[in-house]
Structure 1
């Protein structure tokens, strides 16, 4: 995958196509897991989330891909923006914003999350990124990417125990910020 990413960075269109074919199923799986936690009548489909995130990547200057971790960090960030922009659009058209279910472990603890709260989470995550980029990336992968603890540990190149510890700390920080 790293070879294809670097070839894509060098402008090789075939490498880009091969890479997307290689990870497309995994990207749809990530989007499906994320949407499974959303409200039941969500208008976005996993394919639409993946395609929109990919379109956003392609709209920017070419990215100097480093490795698999870098790719998934960027694509999950793009998925995050797709979901947040969708929530903003819903709020513009509907005062209460509807209900968005779940926030992985966090949702289990706090219950249902409404679209305005999703936007607050996004804002808090942006603030966390300024303080601790590693923890912000972890939250992004877990919440917006829908990755498991093991998948997150693999992508971040650390142990599952480190992810568990950092996840606890990041959640505590986010709870505090969101409670303000």
Structure 2
């Protein structure tokens, strides 16, 4: 995918940012390559412009797509692996691509995992990180504050909890 200067993009590891410029650089002794300079809140990231690697940029989710993601958050959660090491590997794998859908699913599934018993420290940290990224992008896409986005996401997840824990009680 090609981006232009000013595009708001999401990097799977660094979060939201915007394209500052397109520049030719020699990084790590490699030959000259074309890079996007992406400015995030915390850093500047150089992403190869014509790369097939797994670290890829994507455009910010659109406001029109949020309805679909609301449905994902309210949908039946997938059970997570009971083994904490395997669960961590699976979460890393799901989030590696950086899709907004994957972040929504991980937040939904980790939240639901905590409905049955308290999350361990690692799962809690993963949930905080994923939920923070989700709220940040949701707020930017919807034109609302991060606090308002967090409240909306909390309400959607509470609705899912009432629906699916209520089903289990029947």
More helix by share: 1
TM-score (norm 1): 0.31
TM-score (norm 2): 0.32
Report which of the two structures shows the higher radius of gyration computed on alpha carbons: 2
More strand by share: 2
